[in-house]
Chains A and B, each alone.
Chain A
Amino acid sequence: MADDVRERTDDQLAELLRRRQDLARPAPADLSSLAARASTRASVQRAVDSLDLAHLQVLEAALATSSPVDPAAVGVLLAVEAAEVEPVLDDLWTLALLWRSPEGLRVARTVSEVLPHPAGLGPRAADSFVEVPAPESVAALLEEAPPAARAILDRLTWGPPLAVLPPGTPDRVATGARWLLEQHLVFAPGADQLVLPREVALALRQGHSHAAPALHPPLLEGALREESEVDAAAGQQVTDLLALVDELAAEWGLRPPRVLRSGGLAVRDLKRLASVLDVDEARAAFVAELTYAAGLLADDGSLDPSWAPTPAYDEWQQHPGHQRWAVLAQAWLLTTRAPHLVGTTPAGASGTVNALGPDAHWPPARGLRKDVIDQLAAAAPGLSPDRASVATALGWHRPRRVPSSLDVVVAAVLGEAEWLGVTGRGAISSAGRALLDGRSDADLAAAMQPHLPEPVEHVLLQADLTAIAPGPLAGGLATFMRLVADVESRGGATVYRFSQDSVRRGLDAGWSVDQVLGALGDASHTPIPQPLDYLIRDVARRHGQARVGAMRAYIRCDDEATLGAMVADRELSPLQLRSIAPTILVSPVAAETVLEFLRENGFAPAAETPDGGIIVPTTGAHRTPLQRRPTPVTAQKVDDELVTTMVGALRAGEEAAAYQREQVASRPGPSLPSTDPTTTLAVLRDAAADRQAVWIGYSDADGRTQRILFYPDRVEGGRVHGTADGATRTLSIHRVTGAVQG
């Protein structure tokens, strides 16, 4: 194979590297190492996994024929003309899964490791040293087969070629199996196993390797849509999506939800988001994940973390709709987040997946998403393929890569693509194509622009206290409207409702009544309706009537003159006294300091408790809180009783040690000094070579040291293999504490 690679032209090598990109990283030193790398199991596995069904079937058929590969024989197995197979074989050669020997094409050896049962076929009879009946006689044998035997064959014919008959198999089946074994239709590599040899399987398959050869991709099926209709629908979805993102940011900007300890969004918060956005939870999860993937939303990283819009959101928000879409669409294409997993329970897990949580990170999502959209893009323009046909097509293109949940993933990706305006009414939109072509943000935005409604810069104010923006509002005005009014209905237009609460929210945010009225007046072609004007002024009238603030001390005094004197006193200026009522002064300085200052300056203030009582100091001098008296540390005296007990214990200890020594001495074998590992190794090697026994000390998994009479067989890889007490054992050398010739 190395020769084959060396003989390839530059173009062919370039093609190989392009199609098997893992070969190029790190750059191989020479062509021999390229060939070696191309035949490693990992690389071949990768290459085989990325084959489509046509290539995979041809490769399997090639494996099933004899070597070298004869295109005609492959064609026969797949029931097609050799001419149809040849280009595919050439392509497989380009991928270096086949190589040309002087005798002809051969399948790379590693391929058979990756595909141990090509097309579900068992091993060749010759390789397993068994005899099989001639293919012609198989049909005749089948005629005589008892029903149980037929049933077993039917199960094995199309693979997997291996059957296991566990103990307790019904007699009928066992009889069938015995009959098959007697006729050499199957063989038994193990006591309870049956294998169908390749020759028999091919005979049973009427000489074909695949039940359904699929050398051509399946066609997508579905309804055709007008292209203008597709783009219009996509534009409408984008309008909705942008509004939802803004809505999410507005909501979480005001009431950021907590980040769970496990790092996600609580189910309750997702439910609330869904109800705020007025969409179902799946879509709410999508909007949150998308916003997160686009970097517009993040964990705020505080001590008690919560999810909040990032500064990037504020910048994003100022851009026109089509540019905002481009950012979201790019993020979607590249993200490895899988919003559709939110709310599902992964196999083996106890809880459901939280939005924005670590479990919604699923790396295959990106590849699958791209594959699904590629299918849509490859379809006829305006075709809105049905879900099943997309799944089938995906299965053809990536037969070894599709997840078991393919249908769910396809449905999720199609749904997301629709929400994102990559598709419109199921067919890929022109902006969606631009996204797939990997065009720049600017191009992408330009592709979406004609399908988004023109932003409007005015609202219609009505006497029922609603305002209607008859299209998407330009950035600043949208933020303002969301601040002073509540969104009541969304879509092509936005309906806002003014209420006392919403207007107060605006005033709380620092807008003055005139600014609010001014901004509304500017945004509206018609005068502000009287009820709205009245509402805003009425709220403003009450807004800020009561004031709340925090101070550290107050001074109250019925004599206004005294307070006047305090405010005027220059010595008291550090106290920053301020009069908030004729008889009350406040200070941001602590009450004790205020008291002290006042006393120093000739006033006679009294301290007051929070409920208005006078604090009377109970003692004149300052005291600490109640303290515990420390006891000095003293040593206890050694008395006679202690001495007697101790001597007894010493004697007992000595006796125990003597017994221990006696025990050791009475054990079989020599004493075991702790030997150096290299010495140990040498002793073991010598013993293995001389077939002699050694005494070793071996520290087991519990940390105890055992004495073992050991017959080593061989020493390799830091282990010694041998027998002890009649059983085969393998011991790690680093655990052997010492070894002495036995």
Chain B
Amino acid sequence: MPDGPLIVQSDKTLLLEVDHPNAEEARRAIAPFAELERAPEHIHTYRVTPLGLWNARAAGHDAEQVVNALITYSRYAVPHALLVDVADTMDRYGRLTLEKDPDHGLVLRTTDRPVLEEVLRHKKIKPLIGDRIDDDRVAVHPSERGHLKQELLKVGWPAEDEAGYVDGEAHPIGLDNADWSLRPYQQQAVDGFWHGGSGVVVLPCGAGKTLVGAGAMAVAKATTLILVTNTVSARQWRDELLKRTSLTDDEIGEYSGARKEIRPVTIATYQVLTTRRKGVYTHLDLLDARDWGLIIYDEVHLLPAPIFRMTADLQARRRLGLTATLVREDGREADVFSLIGPKRYDAPWKDIEAQGYIAPADCVEVRVTLPDSERLAYAVAEPEDRYRLSSCSPVKIPVVERIVAQHRGEPTLVIGQYLDQLAELSERLDADVITGETPVSQRQKLFQAFRVGEISLLVVSKVANFSIDLPEASVAIQVSGTFGSRQEEAQRLGRVLRPKGDGRTAHFYTVVSRDTVDAEFAAHRQRFLAEQGYAYRIVDADDVDATA
């Protein structure tokens, strides 16, 4: 197609011109194997990676389809080397298969003997495998299933896991569909996951990932272990499950620092699982406490390293990962792929926003100029203090006050990193503050009050980053953050993206100090926003009043 919407670059990025009449068609053709990297207004950038290509293979696509999609929609000749590379990479998937054999248990089987010979000689893989059964097969101890998959991926021969799953202890779970139903994309996500067996569902914040989890539980109809980031998040899962499914209070247990209940559906925090006493993980028994039929990982991109190791031993159980982004700041995407599973469903934010399920957002960066005295202090500060110094500048406070005043009456969150800054803001704004030190009961009381509209302004620390569900927050003001974390930015934006009852536009403000590292980090985080298609504006503090 000489005038196709796609430009294939030599560095394996694909540029999709969104205004092109065939853009949607092309997007659908490349989505299975290319990861959306950036989605600004005119041209979306996708990247072809080995993981992406193997994801596509896992989803049943073959190299020919991929090559065909590239050639069909490309505007210029596609670099031949790239096509060859695509075919080669995809061809590596599935040469090795993990299967269940009636006589030998778990076996690694190959369709290509030299590959098997190659991996068997690898010094990290050798200890993970058992006896050779015949030329094409070798026994694998079930406990090494995860490690083996991890190592095989590292050497570039990802194994297809067809060994199946244990059904686990059956437990009746149904969706309580009286006054709601799964949205079409949620249903697709559940179907995609169930069909694939295990894997990750990527949905933007506010798009109802909890419901995808509930949907998966209703299909599995088995005891379920849900791993979440923190206690607040655990309570929300519980509330949501009580509301949306046939589960009753007695059937849902919480396994956290405060309570240790093991019930047919158990919600545990990552923190409690990774607690160690004298170098021993004390709560590992939980994983074997019941014959779990499904394990759900909330916020997969935050999964701590020890959980990966534990997950390696849970390969016989169905695993569902939920996340807003597969981007991990530590680059362990490959472990997510091999241990939890390939990506099973992915929808870009803008699409779901366009369908009206998440609120449109107006992102504004407000730049304040530091007074001379602070500029001098900043200039002479040690590099490690500079971020704190610039992001906690007192000149930010009047600006925040003005923004809050502009949106008076709308549910507003002020989010920050440093406690003294938050305390000062809370005093000046006459608002309650929630930090890690706030007791859970107090926290939930405040959230409840915020939810029902008794209070419309809260100052929160980074505890608010994850999984607090504030349905009507429509304005978020960020005064400081964890350096340049893109993931945090996504979470915070997520706070205001829940659909609003009246379809209002959500507002997301970031207040930064001009000409300092604060602004540099902000630029890094905003790149993520812009890449997700959220146009942001930059205004000077003096112009704030004009933005309303």
Contact = CB atoms under 8 A, between A and B. Distances in A.
A387 to B, nearest CB: 15
A462 B79 CA distance: 26
Interface in A446-470: 453, 460-466, 468, 470
A495 B38 CA distance: 12
Contacts of A253: none
Contacts of B537: 530-531
Contacts of A491: 7-11, 13, 76, 79
Contacts of B77: 232-233, 235-236, 492
| Most chain A Cβ neighbours within 10 Å, of B76, B78, B526 | B76
Given A468-B42, A492-B75, A542-B515, A529 B13 contact: no
A489 B9 CA distance: 7
B538 A531 contact: yes
A471 B536 CA distance: 27
Contacts of B17: 470
Contacts of A460: 42-43
A462 B9 contact: no
B527 A495 contact: no
Contacts of A489: 9, 11, 13, 15, 45
B365 to A, nearest CB: 8
B535 interface: yes
Interface in B55-99: 74-80
B45 A495 contact: yes
A490 B10 contact: yes
Looking at A453, A460, A491, the one whose CB has the most chain B CB atoms below 10 A away is A491
Nearest to A451: B77
Interface in A488-525: 489-493, 495
Contact of A531 (B7, B15, B42, B536): B536
Interface residues of B, number: 31
Q: Which of the listed residues B17, B38, B77, B527 has the most CB atoms from chain A within 10 Å of its own CB?
A: B77
Contact of B75 (A240, A470, A495): A470
Contacts of A493: 7, 9, 15
Nearest to A533: B538
A530 B531 CA distance: 15
A81 interface: no
Interface string A207-248: 000000000000000000000000011011001100000000
B41 interface: yes
A546 to B, nearest CB: 13
B197 interface: no
Given A463-B40, A491-B11, A493-B9, A529 B515 contact: no
B535 A278 contact: no
Q: Is the interface of A mostly helix, strand, loop or mixed?
A: mixed
Interface string B506-548: 0000000011000000000011001100011110000000000
A235 B76 CA distance: 9
Contact of A495 (B8, B9, B530, B535): B9
A89 to B, nearest CB: 46
Contact of B15 (A453, A463, A464, A468): A468
A463 B79 contact: no
B9 A240 contact: no
B11 A490 contact: yes
A538 to B, nearest CB: 8
Q: From B42, B514, B515, B527, name the one whose CB has the most chain A CB atoms within 10 angstroms.
A: B42
Contacts of A542: 515
Nearest to A529: B535
Contact of A462 (B13, B41, B514): B41
Find the residue from A236, A463, A490, A495 having the highest chain B CB count within 10 A.
Answer: A463
Contacts of A466: 38, 40
A531 B8 contact: no
A492 B7 contact: yes
Interface string A517-560: 00000000010011100100010001000000000000000000
Contacts of A232: 77
26 contacts: A235-B76, A236-B77, A239-B76, A240-B10, A453-B75, A462-B41, A463-B40, A463-B530, A463-B535, A464-B40, A464-B530, A464-B531, A468-B15, A471-B76, A490-B11, A491-B7, A491-B8, A491-B9, A492-B7, A492-B9, A492-B74, A493-B7, A493-B9, A526-B42, A531-B536, A534-B538
Interface of A: 232-233, 235-236, 239-240, 278, 425, 453, 460-466, 468, 470-471, 489-493, 495, 526, 529-531, 534, 538, 542
Given A462-B43, A491-B9, 5 more contacts: A278-B11, A462-B42, A462-B530, A489-B15, A492-B74
